[in-house]
Amino acid sequence: MEKTTLIGILAGFGCIVLSISFDGDIGSFIHIPSIFIVFGGTIAATIVSYSGKTLKSLKTVYSNAFKTKKVDLNEDIEMIIRIANIARREGLLALEDAMAEIDNPFLKKGIMLIVDGADTELVKNILETEITFVQERHIQGQAVISTMASYAPAFGMIGTLIGLINMLKDLDDMNALGPGMSTALITTFYGVLLANLVFTPIAKKLKAQTDSESLQKELYMEGLLSIQDGENPRIIKDKLTSFISRRELKMTDDNQPNPEVKEI
């Protein structure tokens, strides 16, 4: 289980609850109608936006954010080099026996294509197509969560407008203005909190997982094509090592501030 996702969400809620308890009353931040507006409205709008087939996969998409998906490119490179050495010593057909020690379905599929005698271009096209399909499937799930992140603040604002309208109806009662305004703003609080502490972070985490998995598959594909072309294992290792630099560069780029945002 990926503990950082759960720890981060719980820590975020914990800090907010703690900060409220210092100067206020937790009970005043619990408002059932506002919860119905934000949660119910977000879910309803998401149902309208996507097909039933897409929504059925939402449970799996969310669960992926809490699963540990270890991708060790150094270990993957060593495995590719072992396969390359077998192919160099015993020929490509010997790779069929090596598949028993491999758990990754993508890598197994590529080796099977090579053993079956498929030409290099066909192997490349098949593996590239599978990578593209996996990316598209993952992006679709991430899009649903990103959509929920955009709907939550909107329904929070709708709840605030409803609260303000109800408050203005009783404008003659000045004593009710303060509590009424407080209640009206709670829905905005719920919407912003859900969007920025739950939906958006989970969508970003899933995107990072997709990028990591795609890079791993690209490494496998490059290694298999090099093996099929009969390249020296040392050259293959040097070639695949560049994928580690690509991952580090991608992680650096993701952490860079937006150049269009000016610092104050």
Q: 197 is in which domain, residue-wise? A: 42-62+73-251
Quote the distance between the C-alpha of residue 17 and its chain's center: 27
Q: pTM of the prediction?
A: 0.80
The pLDDT tens digits of the residues spanning 191-207 come to 999 999 999 999 999 99
Q: Is 184 exposed, middle or buried (0-12, 13-18, 19+ CB in 10 A)?
A: buried
pLDDT for residue 225 is more than 80: yes
Q: What is the DSSP letter of 171?
A: T
Domain for residue 204, yes or no?
yes
| Other residues' Cβ atoms within 10 Å of the Cβ of residue 50 | 16
Name the CA dihedral angle for 61, 67, 68, 71, rounded to a multiple of 10 degrees: -20
The pLDDT tens digits of the residues spanning 144-181 come to 999 999 999 999 999 888 888 877 776 676 666 666 67
Into how many domains does the chain fold? 1
Domain for residue 223, yes or no?
yes
Percent of the chain whose pLDDT exceeds 90: 38
How large is the greatest C-alpha to C-alpha distance in the chain, in angstroms?
Answer: 91
* Nearest by Cα to 132 from 102, 106, 99, 103: 106
- Using the CB atoms, write b or e for 57-78: b if 16+ within 10 Å: eeeebbebbeeeeeeebeebbe
pLDDT (0 to 100) of residue 257: 47
The pLDDT tens digits of the residues spanning 31-72 come to 888 889 999 999 999 999 998 888 888 888 888 888 877 788
Mean residue pLDDT across the chain = 85
CA–CA gap between residue 83 and residue 91 (Å, rounded): 10
